[in-house]
Structure 1
Amino acid sequence: MSNLGNIRLFTTHPHECSYLDDREAVSVFVDPAYPVDSALYSKLSERGFRRSGAHIYRPHCGSCQACIPARIPVADFQMNRNQRRCWQRNQDLLLSCSPSIDTEEHYQLYARYIEARHSDGDMFPPTPDQYRSFLSREWGVTEYLELRQQDGQLLMVAVCDRLDNGYSAVYTFFAPQHDKRSLGSLAILWQIELARNLGLPHVYLGYWIKECAKMSYKTLYRPLELLINGHWLRVR
């Protein structure tokens, strides 16, 4: 396997932070020309890196350390009462793994989700090119989990990467009119279940930011592990 010390990293220019007002963000990302495989991607995830489209990155914001990598140890995870209710409430849905989401049906679901939930974010307004580049299949590890109603209507897509050491939850989008189903929570629960069935130890949730209300849902999955000063520490 490649020595992580040999990988060239590039730094972005400071830009407006997507999560905290009045702050600038800086990221480092892996040289796009560097050959990436599942083993390397898995090791980088253990070091707090994340995938967005074809790029692997992590925050590098100087004095600000607000973005903390988070993951769920699936062997010890137990659903709380609300999560059990969510799981039971959605047993009527059909789960499948799709080979591609490059269709008009999938894009329209994504566009409705962004317009309803993230009209103030940097992914608005949605475009087909942005959709394809952001949620592309990379290095043969990406899976697209679909949830449909019995009549075939598409309700949710969870984009996740199957690593050597777990699943990485890349992005989830769903029909915004079905709030009562808690489909975002259901997507994480399904990935925990898939990882457990495959004997994979973790589900990586990306970054938790204490001051960002949109990130607070990640602390509902217990126990949770946070990468702090290079060590994964468990929070119960």
Structure 2
Amino acid sequence: MRHSLPLAPQFYVTAPQPCPYLDGRSERKLFTALQGEGAEKLNNALSRQGFRRSQNVLYRPSCSDCMACLSARIRVADFSPSRTQRRVLKRNSDLKRTATSPWATEEQFALFRRYLDHRHADGGMADMDIFEFAAMIEETPIKSRVIEYRETAATPETAHSLVAVCLTDVLDDGLSMVYSFYDPDRIDDSLGTYLILDHVEIARRAGLPYVYLGYWVPGSRKMGYKANFSGLEIFKNSSWQDLGDPEEHSGETHPLSVDPIAEQVARIALPDTRS
């Protein structure tokens, strides 16, 4: 009888590029393809080890001398909104949430372009066209949802207008907020914070223990807001731990702070995708 072993994922490393979070540094990513019948299990397993999904790729920062990027997630059972966050919930209570299949629309793209032009005009997505946007939304081999938020208590001209969108993956242990964008004219409504708060509520109702937020970066003003959520934990030194005092986590570089790529890959726990 002939036996064959399942093909293990192959891991690769990107070339260094300017870091989008910390000035004067370069970033490098460890990544693997997300495809085939085992995609769901692989995504679940690697998400628990600090990886993130982008279309059909799973990646994790693997910079040569920096470990500042730390995957962050909220423990739903331990989360309690602050006074400021309760005000954010009240301020946006007129929004109606709708979860749909991952399908891109022109209305979404128009909001996405406005968001980029006002918030990230010099970012890596600044030149994305509608076809690239559609690929970001629709190219997913796992269970994903597009969650839209619309105005319900506004003037006749703005009623039911699209205010915010979040591309969300449904993992076996939580929700992963892959990418979100919102109306830049509503800056006082703290929509980015509201989307996280609402995802905590969605996860709570679904009985899912975590909401994955992407990366928290000490010293980065762009990522500082994530430390404001109670029940936050980070993936550091190969395990999840309470964030604790954000000031205790350093983003300093050191030439010996990062293990060689081969050692990093060897420590990745892969799921059994044969069943």
TM over 0.5: yes
Hey, what does 1:99 align to over in structure 2?
Answer: 101
Match for 1:44: what amino acid? L
The secondary structure found in structure 2 opposite 1:222 is coil
In the alignment, the residues of structure 2 paired with residue 182 and residue 4 of structure 1 have an alpha-carbon distance, to the nearest angstrom, of 46
Match for 1:119: what amino acid? A
In the alignment, the residues of structure 2 paired with residue 230 and residue 183 of structure 1 have an alpha-carbon distance, to the nearest angstrom, of 32
Larger Cα-atom Rg: 2
In the alignment, the residues of structure 2 paired with residue 59 and residue 161 of structure 1 have an alpha-carbon distance, to the nearest angstrom, of 20
Task: After TM superposition, list the pairs within 5 Å mapping 1:103-114 onto structure 2.
Answer: 103-114=105-116
The secondary structure found in structure 2 opposite 1:28 is strand
**Structure 2 residue 65 is matched with structure 1 residue 57:** no
RMSD of the alignment, in Å?
1.9
The secondary structure found in structure 2 opposite 1:120 is coil
In the alignment, the residues of structure 2 paired with residue 11 and residue 114 of structure 1 have an alpha-carbon distance, to the nearest angstrom, of 27
Match for 2:187: what amino acid? D
Provide closer, same or farther for how the CA distance between residues 101 and 5 of structure 1 changes in structure 2, counting only shifts above 3 A.
Answer: closer
In the alignment, the residues of structure 2 paired with residue 19 and residue 140 of structure 1 have an alpha-carbon distance, to the nearest angstrom, of 28
Give the alignment's TM-score, normalised by structure 2. 0.80
**Does structure 2 retain, via aligned residues, the 8 Å contact 1:156–1:183?**
yes
Provide closer, same or farther for how the CA distance between residues 225 and 44 of structure 1 changes in structure 2, counting only shifts above 3 A.
Answer: same
**Does structure 2 retain, via aligned residues, the 8 Å contact 1:10–1:31?**
no
In the alignment, the residues of structure 1 paired with residue 116 and residue 46 of structure 2 have an alpha-carbon distance, to the nearest angstrom, of 29
Which residue among 156, 166, 170 is the counterpart of 1:158? 166
In the alignment, the residues of structure 2 paired with residue 111 and residue 217 of structure 1 have an alpha-carbon distance, to the nearest angstrom, of 23
Show CA shifts across 1:47-88 (max 9, x none): 000011221100111221011111100011000011111111
The structure that is strand-richer by fraction is 1
Higher mean C-alpha deviation, range 202-211 or range 135-144 = 135-144
Q: How far off is 1:98 after superposition?
A: 2.2
Hey, what does 2:79 align to over in structure 1?
Answer: 77
**Does structure 2 retain, via aligned residues, the 8 Å contact 1:142–1:161?**
yes
Task: After TM superposition, list the pairs within 5 Å mapping 1:129-140 onto structure 2.
Answer: 129-140=131-142
Provide closer, same or farther for how the CA distance between residues 4 and 58 of structure 1 changes in structure 2, counting only shifts above 3 A.
Answer: farther
Higher mean C-alpha deviation, range 128-137 or range 216-225 = 128-137
Match for 2:160: what amino acid? G
Task: After TM superposition, list the pairs within 5 Å mapping 1:23-34 onto structure 2.
Answer: 23-32=25-34
Aligned residues: 234
Which residue among 198, 208, 211 is the counterpart of 1:203? 211
In the alignment, the residues of structure 1 paired with residue 189 and residue 38 of structure 2 have an alpha-carbon distance, to the nearest angstrom, of 37
Higher mean C-alpha deviation, range 63-72 or range 17-26 = 17-26
**Structure 2 residue 176 is matched with structure 1 residue 168:** yes
Show CA shifts across 1:95-123 (max 9, x none): 11122442111100000000000012111
Hey, what does 1:67 align to over in structure 2?
Answer: 69
**Does structure 2 retain, via aligned residues, the 8 Å contact 1:26–1:59?**
yes
Which residue among 17, 20, 44 is the counterpart of 2:19? 17
The secondary structure found in structure 2 opposite 1:232 is strand
Hey, what does 1:230 align to over in structure 2?
Answer: 238
Gaps of 5+ in 2: 153-158, 245-275
Q: How far off is 1:36 after superposition?
A: 4.0
Q: How far off is 1:135 after superposition?
A: 2.8
Provide closer, same or farther for how the CA distance between residues 173 and 4 of structure 1 changes in structure 2, counting only shifts above 3 A.
Answer: farther
The secondary structure found in structure 1 opposite 2:107 is helix
Provide closer, same or farther for how the CA distance between residues 83 and 64 of structure 1 changes in structure 2, counting only shifts above 3 A.
Answer: same
